[in-house]
């Protein structure tokens, strides 16, 4: 998280690699939003960079 800059994207292979609990993942996505960064999952192709991705998460 220290290296995540504004406008960058963190790619995670599986969502469970990001956090063990749903609340942890929500908190991290909120922190990404505050840093103006995004999260990408390659399978299924999913990103939080747009409105649809934030709504899905």
Nearest to 39 by CA among 2, 4, 1, 9: 9
Mean pLDDT of 21-30: 86
For residue 40, what are the domain limits? Answer: 9-56
Q: Flag whether 42 is in a domain.
A: yes
**Rounded-to-integer distance, Cα 3 and Cα 22, Å:** 23
Q: Flag whether 2 is in a domain.
A: no
Q: What is the number of domains present in the chain? A: 1
pLDDT tier, 35 (very low <50, low <70, confident <90, very high otherwise):
confident
Q: Flag whether 20 is in a domain.
A: yes
Whole-number pLDDT of residue 9: 87
Q: Flag whether 45 is in a domain.
A: yes
CATH number of the structural domain spanning residue 40: 3.40.50.1390
- DSSP conformational letter for 41: E
Question: Do residues 39 and 9 lie in contact, with contact meaning Cβ atoms separated by under 8 Å?
Answer: yes
């Amino acid at each position: 998280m220290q290296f995540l800059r504004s406008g960058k994207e963190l790619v995670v292979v599986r969502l469970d690699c990001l956090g063990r609990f749903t609340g942890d993942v929500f908190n991290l996505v909120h922190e990404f939003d505050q840093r103006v960064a995004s999260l990408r999952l390659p399978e299924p192709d999913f990103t939080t960079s747009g409105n649809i991705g934030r709504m899905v998460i």
